[in-house]
Amino acid sequence: MNKRWIYKPLPNEAQISHLSRTINVNPYLTAVLLQRGIDSFEKARRFFRPSLADLHDPLLMKDMDKAVERLHQAIERNEKILIYGDYDVDGTTAVSLVYLYLSSFYNRCEIYIPDRQREGYGISRTGIQYACDNNFSLVIALDCGIKATDMVALANAQGVDFIICDHHLPGDHIPRAVAVLDPKQNGCNYPYKELSGCGLGFKLMQAYARAFRKEEEVYRYLDLVALSIASDIVPINGENRTLAYFGLQKLNNDPLPGLAALKEVAGVQNQVDITGIVFALGPRINAAGRIAHASAAADLLLSETIEEARLKAGTVNNNNMVRKEYDTTTTEEALAMIESNPDMLAASATVLFKPTWHKGVVGIVAARLIEHYYRPTIILTESDGKITGSARSIRDFDLYDALLQCSDLLDKFGGHRHAAGLTLLPENLQPFIERFNQVAAQRLNPEMLKPPVEIDVELPLKAISPSFVKILNQMAPFGPENQRPVFAAHGVQVTHSLTSYKERHLRFSVQQNDDERVHQAVAFNLAGYYSRLAAGNSFSMTFTIEENTYNGNTGIQLKVKDIKFDQ
């Protein structure tokens, strides 16, 4: 797939030179730091040396004082507390964190996770009825609730109070809960706006612990917060970076029993980073809610012993295997539908429907298809007599706004610029497909349909050294808003050891111009360039720099993202 290279603007040389001398970091990495807003010694100190002391005071968040007061009142009065959360990784880690902390000293808590298929996302009528029938007088809603105006009103009418902890954008009306914790709501002056749902649960427990117990008690659950930050694709900067940094330490050195067992069934042997969570741990938690009920994942995370956790981890892992089968089969069917239809091949968007596709994997499949055909993608199936599905977008296409242009054909939809869910009546399916394709065709040009490779700085290969990589590694954890830096190098040639494996990937050694140093490189899904590389053609490449351990030996490896030949 032909890609477009996008170079980030470079800071001016004077800025780079000044900061480089101030913090004693080479100019190339200093430029990357400046691009990320790190422009002073103090900001660099906080970046390279995170501290839990840097976490913001939770009472800066609007309604936090009310939330803590109502929670303390419930505990003092011996009320039953229902901890209600979404069925994805963020939701299940959030309910697990709050339950584990509160139940360590209070025994009248219970968790509730809605059924993905029957209740759908958010606060459900079934959930409120459960709270009423079982005499819960306080519900703590995590990773959902900010738009549940009607449901909260229904609960209020039946004597059930709500504390909402949500990180999604509010609607026009804020639910009349006892307290609404959402840094994105108007009037909230909390300094950091991008906490995960689990992160908000952590802040509520942090505030309670500060007032009535010991704050350090809550830190034992930071591995759950790191899991949520990675899996929910929230920015890893500011407070999230600090939480992820210490959460990863906890996950690697002293994980909760459930996470220790999850690492075992996922085959994780080395240190886990953000990428490891995204590809190995997160999908197994998500699979519980996609294939069966997310309570299986929560049960795992709440395990008290490693023996108990291992039994539950097997169930979660089996769900993930089933999810993979659905995922693979559906992706293959969807690709075949596109490849057999010339109109679909030529379209600016992909909209596919099959009534038998599993509702739990349509979002994953939409993302998979974008890897093959880089364009906005919607995958639809049938559920309860309606058409329902998930949508994923590309860099230059506002998915939510495009769906807004089709809203008269939709029963309901929600989401944001990059991802969304939608439901429509069967009779509106064909008109919707035509309208959405029309909107995409109007807003996208051929250049936008090329996958972007964002490049931080050009880097001569001779600048790469063990000390360079040591500082680079200290910029982790990497993720949104702090991605692993991408470099570009020109005038590069393969020296030897060019091999292809699995018919898709390449390994080779490279040199640049007259520099004698040789660097090992790996290029995934770029085997199509084998013959031109073997011919000795000079080329440019974009790449990241990583350490690779093989047979007990650790060395520097360039991970090539794309190649462009000089002629």
Q: Give the pLDDT confidence score for residue 197 in this predicted structure.
A: 96
CATH architecture of 453-565: Beta Barrel (2.40)
CA angle 133, 138, 139 (to 5 degrees): 85
Span(s) in the chain for CATH 2.40.50.460: 453-565
Angle between helices 238-253 and 222-231 (to 10 degrees): 120
Question: What value does the mean pLDDT of the chain take?
Answer: 94
Q: Give the pLDDT confidence score for residue 286 in this predicted structure.
A: 86
**Contact indicator for 173, 143 with CB cutoff of 8 Å:** no
Q: How far apart are CA 279 and CA 378, in angstroms?
A: 22
- Four-way CATH pick for 58-221: 3.90.1640.30, 3.20.20.70, 3.30.200.20, 3.40.50.2000: 3.90.1640.30
Q: Give the pLDDT confidence score for residue 515 in this predicted structure.
A: 84
Q: Within its chain, how far is the Cα of 527 from the centroid? A: 29
pLDDT in tens, 325-340: 999 999 999 999 999 9
Contact partners, residue 523, CB within 8 Å, separation at least 6: 505, 506, 507, 508, 529, 559, 560, 563
Given a cut of 50, the residues of the chain with pLDDT beneath it are none
> For 553, which DSSP code?
E
Closest by CA position to 540, among listed 496, 492, 505: 492
| C-alpha R_g of the chain | 25
Span(s) in the chain for CATH 3.90.1640.30: 58-221
Question: What are the tokens at 142?
Answer: 């995590």
> For 169, which DSSP code?
P
**DSSP string covering 403-435, please?**
HHTTGGG-SEEEE-SSEEEEEE-GGGHHHHHHH
Q: Within its chain, how far is the Cα of 350 from the centroid? A: 23
Contact partners, residue 397, CB within 8 Å, separation at least 6: 376, 440, 443, 444, 448
**Contact indicator for 145, 83 with CB cutoff of 8 Å:** no
Contact partners, residue 71, CB within 8 Å, separation at least 6: 81, 138, 140, 163, 204, 208
pLDDT in tens, 519-551: 999 999 999 999 999 998 899 999 999 988 777
Span(s) in the chain for CATH 3.10.310.30: 341-449
pLDDT in tens, 315-368: 899 988 988 999 999 999 999 999 999 999 999 999 999 999 998 899 999 999
Q: Give the pLDDT confidence score for residue 292 in this predicted structure.
A: 67
Q: Within its chain, how far is the Cα of 397 from the centroid? A: 19
Q: How far apart are CA 330 and CA 361, in angstroms?
A: 8
**Contact indicator for 432, 331 with CB cutoff of 8 Å:** no
For 383, phi then psi, to 5°, come to -150, 125
Angle between helices 257-265 and 282-291 (to 10 degrees): 90
Distances (CA, A) of 351 to 366, 390, 430, 445: 9, 10, 10, 18
**DSSP string covering 479-510, please?**
BTTBPPP-EEEEEEEE-S--EEETTTEEEEEE
Closest by CA position to 206, among listed 80, 60, 92: 60
CA atoms within 13 A on the CB side of 527: 8
Q: Give the pLDDT confidence score for residue 513 in this predicted structure.
A: 86
Sheet with 377-383, side-by-side order of all strands:
350-353, 377-383, 386-392, 419-424, 412-415
Q: How far apart are CA 422 and CA 437, in angstroms?
A: 16
Closest by CA position to 102, among listed 163, 25, 18: 163
Contact partners, residue 42, CB within 8 Å, separation at least 6: none
Q: How far apart are CA 478 and CA 485, in angstroms?
A: 9
**Contact indicator for 94, 85 with CB cutoff of 8 Å:** yes
Which CATH number describes the domain made up of 341-449?
Answer: 3.10.310.30
Q: Give the pLDDT confidence score for residue 320 in this predicted structure.
A: 87
pLDDT in tens, 81-118: 999 998 889 999 999 999 999 999 999 999 999 887 77
Residue matched to tokens 């339950």: 99
Q: How far apart are CA 177 and CA 163, in angstroms?
A: 6
Closest by CA position to 464, among listed 350, 557, 336, 332: 557
What are the b/e assignments for 264-291, b being 16+ CB within 10 Å? bbbebeeebbbebbbebbbbbbbbbbbb
